[in-house]
Amino acid sequence: MKHALRYLPALLIALSSLPAAAQQPAGLPQVPRSRAEIGLTFAPVVSRVAPAIVNVYALKVEPRSNPMLDDPFFRRFFGDRGGPDVPDAEGPSERIQRSLGSGVLVDPTGVVVTNNHVIDGADEIRIALADKREYDAKVVLRDPRTDIAILRLENAKGSFPSAVLGSSDDLEVGDIVLAIGNPFGVGQTVTQGIVSALARTQRGITDYGFFIQTDAAINPGNSGGALVDGAGRVVGINTAIFSRSGGSQGIGFAIPADMVRVVLQSALNGSKVVRRPWLGADLQAVTADIADGLDLARPTGALVQNVVPDSPAEKAGLRSGDLIVAVAGQEVDDPDAFGFRFATRPLGGQVELGIVRQGKEMKLAVALQAAPESVPREEITLEGRSPLAGATVVNLSPAVIDEMRTVDATKGVVITAVAEDSPAQRTSFKPGDVIVEINGIPIAKTADLQNLMRTPQRAWRVTLQRGGRVVTALLPG
C-alpha cells in the first residue's frame, strides 16, 4: 500500500508539470504536483485506526431439524443451512452455526459497534482485538431498524484503543475512503476507494435506508467494520454489498456515522431501546404520476398520507397531502431521506420542516420528542397447541407502533418476534403482524390473547393486519 500511488496513469503525472493555478481552482482538492506527492501513503491513517478494528465471532447452538442432513449424500440435495458441524462438541442432536464479522471499538472502556445481523440470535459472542487479545462480549443494545448493535467487552481491564466517529455529512462524492475489516476471515485487511454516492435510499437493507456507497472492496466478513475518511475518522459502518457472485463488485454500502451515533448514545445512556424523534405521520414516495398531479417540477419529497392524532406532526399543523421537502434546511428526496434527517436530530427542542401545501411553500416547527409508551408492553411469548405458539406479542402504544412500523394499527397486539421452527413460524406469522381478532373475539391486550391460547380449539380464525391490509385466515387447531 505504501507505494501503490507510484503507479498512477501517465496522464496524472503529466498534469503535475502544469502550473498549480492551471490544475485546480483555488480552494479545491489538488492533484499530486510532484513525484514526492505521488508517493504519499495512507499508512499513518491506517496505523491510527486499525488497532480499534476488531473481529466479531458469533456462535449459535441449534437443534438438528432433520437427521437426514447428517448424511453427506442428502446434504448435496438439501444443503447445509448452517455453519460446519462440530462433532462431539454439543452432542449429536445439536449443530453450531458460526458467523464472522467485524466491529469498531468506539470507547476506551471497551464498547464495540457492529452490525446487528452479525450477532443476531447468537448464544456466544467473542471479540478478537488487533493485538490478538480476545474477550467475551455481551450485547448492550440491538437496533434492527438500523442494523446496528452495541457490544461491551466482558472482564475487560484498562483502556482500549478507540476510533473517532466523524460526521457523514462532511463527505462528498469523490472523497477517498478506506474500508477496514476481516473479509472472508483472512485477517484484518485494508482496502481503498472513493465515495461513489451519498444518500442512497430504497435499498431495502434497513428501515432507515440512507447509505454511503463506496467502491472500496467490501466482502463477507467486512460487515460491521469501519469506513474511514482521509483524516482517520469513522464515517460509516460497512453493512452490505451488491453482488452477483458473493464477492465485491465495487458497490458497497455503509451506515452513516450520524445514524450510528444515535444508537451509540442511547446505549451509553443506559437505554434498552433507541430513543429517537417521532413524527407521527405515514409518508409515501412521490412517483412521476403523483408529481404531475401536484404540478411538481420533479418527483421529490415525502408525501404525508395520514397524521396520528395528538402526535408532534398534528400539533405542528402537518396535514394529509402536505409534501415534506426539507428538514432543518436540508433537502429530502423521499421518505427514507426524511427518516434519516429527522431520526438523527437530538431529542428536545424543535426542528423546522419545509413543506409544500397546495403549491405554496411553508415552514412548520415540529417538536423533537420520542414516541410515548402510554400503554405497558406486557410482553408474552405464547405457548400451547395453537398456530400462534412461539410468537412474542406486546401491547400497542405509539412507541411500539413507531418501532414496529405499523403506523395504521389502532387496536390489537403486535408480534415482535417469532421463534424458529415454532408453530407460529410454520404458519407464516411475522414480526409486525397485528393480531386483531381470534375466532371473532376482539384482542385488546396480550392477556386476552394468552387466555384464549389456554383453551384448545378445533380451528382458529385469526384476523390480523399486515402491511396496511386486514387478512383473515382459518387455521387448524
- pLDDT tens digits, 233-253: 999 999 887 766 666 677 889
Q: Of 21-35, 371-385, 457-471, which gets the smallest average pLDDT?
A: 21-35
Q: Among 331, 346, 367, which residue terminates a domain?
A: 367
**What is the DSSP code (8-state) at residue 163?**
P
SS3 (DSSP) at 52? helix
Q: What pLDDT is stored for residue 2 in this prediction?
A: 38
Q: Is the pLDDT of residue 13 over 50?
A: no
What would the mean pLDDT of 18-43 be, rounded to a whole number? Answer: 64
Answer whether residue 47 is part of any domain.
Answer: no
What digits encode the pLDDT tens for the residues 331-350? 998 888 898 899 999 999 99
Q: Mark whether 147 is an active-site residue.
A: yes
Q: What pLDDT is stored for residue 462 in this prediction?
A: 93
CATH number, domain with residue 358: 2.30.42.10
Burial pattern 214-241, b for ≥16 Cβ within 10 A else e, equals bbbbbbbbbbbbbbbbeebbbbbbbbbb
Sign, Cα dihedral of 120, 124, 127, 132: negative
Of 168, 182, 332, the C-alpha closest to 255 is 168
Answer whether residue 241 is part of any domain.
Answer: yes
Strand partners, 103: 54
Interhelix angle for 335-343 vs 257-268, to 10°? 40
- The whole-model pTM stands at 0.76
* Same domain assignment for residues 183 and 224: yes
Q: Among 153, 179, 209, which residue terminates a domain?
A: 153
* Same domain assignment for residues 96 and 126: yes
* Same domain assignment for residues 98 and 134: yes
Reported confidence tier of residue 456, pLDDT bands at 50, 70, 90: confident
Answer whether residue 48 is part of any domain.
Answer: no
What would the mean pLDDT of 449-469 be, rounded to a whole number? Answer: 87
CATH number, domain with residue 134: 2.40.10.10
* Same domain assignment for residues 362 and 402: no
Answer whether residue 312 is part of any domain.
Answer: yes
SS3 (DSSP) at 424? helix
* Same domain assignment for residues 176 and 261: yes
Q: What pLDDT is stored for residue 154 in this prediction?
A: 95
Among residues 102, 117, 336, 386, the one annotated as catalytic is 117
* Same domain assignment for residues 386 and 448: yes
Placement of cell 471479540 in the chain: 127
Among residues 196, 223, 311, 386, the one annotated as catalytic is 223
* Same domain assignment for residues 143 and 211: no
* Same domain assignment for residues 134 and 90: yes
Answer whether residue 158 is part of any domain.
Answer: no
Answer whether residue 373 is part of any domain.
Answer: no
* Same domain assignment for residues 60 and 147: yes
Answer whether residue 276 is part of any domain.
Answer: no
Work out the percent of the chain whose per-residue pLDDT is above 90.
52
How many independent structural domains does the chain possess?
Answer: 5
Q: What pLDDT is stored for residue 210 in this prediction?
A: 76
Answer whether residue 46 is part of any domain.
Answer: no
Among residues 107, 147, 229, 336, the one annotated as catalytic is 147
* Same domain assignment for residues 262 and 187: yes
Reported confidence tier of residue 35, pLDDT bands at 50, 70, 90: confident
Q: Is the pLDDT of residue 22 over 60?
A: no
What digits encode the pLDDT tens for the residues 41-90? 889 999 999 999 999 999 887 665 555 445 444 444 444 444 443 344 44
* Same domain assignment for residues 197 and 258: yes
What would the mean pLDDT of 365-380 be, rounded to a whole number? Answer: 93
Instruction: Quote the mean pLDDT of the chain.
Output: 83
Q: Among 246, 268, 290, which residue terminates a domain?
A: 268
Q: What pLDDT is stored for residue 273 in this prediction?
A: 84
Q: What pLDDT is stored for residue 81 in this prediction?
A: 44
Contacts for 311 with CB less than 8 Å, ≥ 6 apart? 278, 279, 280, 281, 398
Give me the domain span that covers residue 236: 168-268
Which residues of 116-243 form beta strands (DSSP E)? 124-128, 134-143, 148-153, 176-181, 189-200, 211-214, 226-228, 234-241
Q: Is the pLDDT of residue 10 over 60?
A: no
What digits encode the pLDDT tens for the residues 264-286? 999 999 988 888 999 999 899 99
* Same domain assignment for residues 256 and 285: no
